[in-house]
Structure 1
């Protein structure tokens, strides 16, 4: 690809103005309102280029004849280069891999997710014992073992998600999981409180990688939206099983063999999951796989001018910083769908982590239960998650049949998964009210603990509905959208748990949970707004429009390409058959 034809970013505000003027002359109107308007326009240009460039790579990978002007010349000379792409039914294309291979990838990635999410809440039932060992008395300090981990969750996905879309998934997964394992060892051996908190932060930063990368890996291997949706449902269930298993481990270890054994057990599990990832997890990112194929051809024949389109992408540090690493932040700041989804999920996620501080207050202080038994009371939430999975698959079956019957409502993207979140939101809020008003000394602890079933169902349906919607809306940038969501919700999950003890002291159990339930009920309107005005919101999104236009254009050219090849094959066959 020549320098003139590459999708370079604007070098200055003057260049931005020139490009905007050119677009305005083509009927595209953009208003500039001082510095804010200029910044908005820069973001719009970068996003448009991001969409255009990524779909051009996609076209080249799939043997689709591109628009005129998309030729590939060397950046250093004018020698013509041949771009390789996937052949029809290419066995090396991840979409065409066997179900057995896809299943093995799915299992390994889910194991990595459990590593990450289990680590997030691992100290929850062990905090009283570690703070006693190190003489920590401040209530604010006692929240830090979980909060510092989640601080890592804030920043990690902003790197790992977009970098996985730039350099591939496999090596990034191996590096981050290896370092997560090392920092988990550091937690087990920590000599003092400050060192322990540093190791917890590093665990969170590197442990956040699967949350950002796995959605991209699933999109890499599952083309059908129904299959991909089912895989994402299990992924989201896995993200909640990990944090709920951890308190049980910590609760029983702390009272018997010591709190450090919570981390030794986590370390053993991390090593067990790391070994198959190193030796068995393949690269799933199609552009990287095609690049390796081209490199193999060039190695066998040094004179061959064969390249993958991804190899010709400009990967200098400026492009990585301005286009790749800013993508999740741009999505949060400029995409209404992403920002509102992130706000809702952030509150729900923060309440989930508040529960790790609330359960000891309710079930240990009020009911006098042991840490181990208190940990077991998280099991109803797991039961709710399982019920939510059943609901998800039942909805998927109903949706598939409705699509086959061409029901008008199935034509809207919001109808695919958002109704699940619309059901889950009120259930989640009701479960908080239930827990708050039933947690009394004159009521058996089993009654408030059963609120966990509604909590688990609601939490899971909200996440399945909203994150699937993000994936469907930004599928080619699913990892970046997931990174934006993960980072923003972790940010709120760092802050709100700090207020858990003061809030429960001031408002009591019923008052605190009523406040959280009221906020949840208020934001549960977000899915309903999407169902009502989703098409209009997407129509006002510059990035959504750019992605949709590029995708439709690619599909149109793919169809023309297919017709052209059919005609050519028919003519060739007629020539062979003619005497």
Structure 2
């Protein structure tokens, strides 16, 4: 097997900086008994049929939509829960927040486990248990049980938030990953937007709140069945381990091995390293701290809307729960429009940058243009929403503000997600994991004070406060665009110091 025909990219997935000496990695790359992909090898997921890879991409998005849909769905049946269990409005709101708290725990488990045992078994385990907890919510006898089952369900529902994105990295090359990422980014925002619509109309139709959780259980069960029947293993190092076993059997030579098999001798230290590294990187990297703060604030605002919309549209405009849920639709439509703008304008522009900078990689700062546009849109949308929220003004005015808000959210997230990946490369998974945990904490915390804030300040001044904070955060991508290369040169973890 000639070196030119061998792909050793799996080593960078198995060993990250700090785990094994660089010279050791280089020595293993030259080892003729290290099993790697040969050029055109159909066992490599990146060489699979393009249509099949798009199915996996769409299915990964569906799994993420499932999880985020469940997070917001109870918002439409909160009045029923208050009546049946006699719970306070704060505890009822906690049913949404506690599910998102599970997102803080899950990413720390499912990512490292999938890199040890593979994507497929972790997806199966997580979704089987997630489905069970949805059923448990449907038959919950009291408030405490429902809150506990929601938290545990969120922990297992976090698997696609961490690993569905990893599916894209497994099956797409860097030059085609952007398009699939644009589609995939819609899922985390489509779910929260669609949840209140479905539950709101179920409530208006007189369907009991338990049936909402039965619907969520059925949705999760169908996805579980599809995972078992149609989702293959995509993690390259696991597939190479299988190839190494087959090679040993066919040749009778026990010296053949894969990178993951060699790493398995130190799996406890490796998992410990992966669990600790996300927060180590976060606290030592100023770039990542500010990006995480920005993304977390934006994410928290999305979940805050679940409390703000009933105040503006249900109380202010007299809408029922179903019609109030429909007010989330522009959030999804705005996200779709943002993704379309990426595909139509920003991605072709980035492809031109690739040719311009070739053979060197494109500087990560080129990813920040979308956030420079999305940030102002996001801030303006809150001022627009707040000062048109008077009951005397047509509901179409605040409703129209949600469309640019959705555009801004997707542009900010696509920009900053890609910046983290480009800047941190081999430790990007750890950087994203820490960002996901902090972001989820904001998503869980914001709904808990949203009702009080909008009641005390009224929707006008509450939205103005959020708009002002969004204005303060707008300079972050501009500062990184100007000084990001300097910060990367001083970074311990960014391997892109020379671009």
Same fold (TM over 0.5): yes
Distance 1:160-1:299 versus aligned 2 partners, 3 A rule: same
Distance 1:52-1:130 versus aligned 2 partners, 3 A rule: farther
1:131 — aligned with what? 82
Matched, 1:148 2:98: yes
2:125 — aligned with what? 175
Using the alignment, how far apart are the partners of 1:536 and 1:548 within structure 2?
Answer: 8
Distance 1:286-1:541 versus aligned 2 partners, 3 A rule: same
Residue 155 of structure 1: how far off its partner (Å): 1.1
Report the secondary structure of 2:377's partner residue: helix
Work out whether residues 244 and 257 of structure 2, in 8 Å CA contact, stay in contact via their aligned partners in 1. Answer: yes
Using the alignment, how far apart are the partners of 1:410 and 1:204 within structure 2?
Answer: 38
2:348 — aligned with what? 397
2:112 — aligned with what? 162
> Which residue of the other structure, out of 393, 396, 401, is the alignment partner of 1:446?
396
Work out whether residues 119 and 246 of structure 1, in 8 Å CA contact, stay in contact via their aligned partners in 2. Answer: yes
Report the secondary structure of 1:50's partner residue: coil
Matched, 1:113 2:82: no
Using the alignment, how far apart are the partners of 2:246 and 2:151 within structure 1?
Answer: 40
RMSD: 2.4
Residue 283 of structure 1: how far off its partner (Å): 1.2
Larger Rg: 1
Using the alignment, how far apart are the partners of 1:107 and 1:324 within structure 2?
Answer: 28
Report the secondary structure of 2:212's partner residue: helix
Work out whether residues 346 and 489 of structure 1, in 8 Å CA contact, stay in contact via their aligned partners in 2. Answer: yes
- Per-residue displacement from partner, 1:425-476 (whole Å, max 9, x unpaired)? 1100110111110000220111111111011001111111111111222343
1:337 — aligned with what? 287
1:234 — aligned with what? 183
1:520 — aligned with what? 470
Alignment of 1:413-428 (within 5 A): 413-415=364-366, 417-428=367-378
> Which residue of the other structure, out of 193, 199, 213, is the alignment partner of 1:250?
199
Residue 158 of structure 1: how far off its partner (Å): 1.4
Report the secondary structure of 1:544's partner residue: coil
Residue 244 of structure 1: how far off its partner (Å): 0.6
Work out whether residues 385 and 456 of structure 1, in 8 Å CA contact, stay in contact via their aligned partners in 2. Answer: yes
Using the alignment, how far apart are the partners of 1:161 and 1:129 within structure 2?
Answer: 37
Report the secondary structure of 1:444's partner residue: coil
TM-score by length of 2: 0.91
Task: Kindly tell me the number of residue pairs found equivalent between the two proteins.
Answer: 483
Alignment of 1:49-448 (within 5 A): 49-50=18-19, 56=25, 64-65=29-30, 82-137=33-88, 139-225=89-175, 227-256=176-205, 257-300=207-250, 303-316=253-266, 318-393=268-343, 394-405=345-356, 411-415=362-366, 417-448=367-398
Distance 1:51-1:502 versus aligned 2 partners, 3 A rule: farther
Using the alignment, how far apart are the partners of 2:24 and 2:387 within structure 1?
Answer: 53
Greater shift in the superposed pair: 320-329 or 472-481: 472-481
2:406 — aligned with what? 456
Residue 406 of structure 1: how far off its partner (Å): 5.3
Using the alignment, how far apart are the partners of 1:52 and 1:541 within structure 2?
Answer: 19
Using the alignment, how far apart are the partners of 1:119 and 1:128 within structure 2?
Answer: 18
Q: Name stretches of at least 5 consecutive residues in structure 1 with no aligned partner.
A: 1-45, 66-70, 72-80, 553-579
Q: Name stretches of at least 5 consecutive residues in structure 2 with no aligned partner.
A: 1-14
- Per-residue displacement from partner, 1:166-193 (whole Å, max 9, x unpaired)? 3321111111111111111111111111
Using the alignment, how far apart are the partners of 2:351 and 2:122 within structure 1?
Answer: 35
Distance 1:336-1:383 versus aligned 2 partners, 3 A rule: same
Work out whether residues 485 and 497 of structure 2, in 8 Å CA contact, stay in contact via their aligned partners in 1. Answer: no
Work out whether residues 425 and 494 of structure 2, in 8 Å CA contact, stay in contact via their aligned partners in 1. Answer: no
- Per-residue displacement from partner, 1:237-295 (whole Å, max 9, x unpaired)? 11100111110111011222122222222222212221121122111111111101112
Using the alignment, how far apart are the partners of 1:439 and 1:215 within structure 2?
Answer: 37
Work out whether residues 427 and 493 of structure 2, in 8 Å CA contact, stay in contact via their aligned partners in 1. Answer: no
Greater shift in the superposed pair: 342-351 or 311-320: 311-320
TM-score by length of 1: 0.79
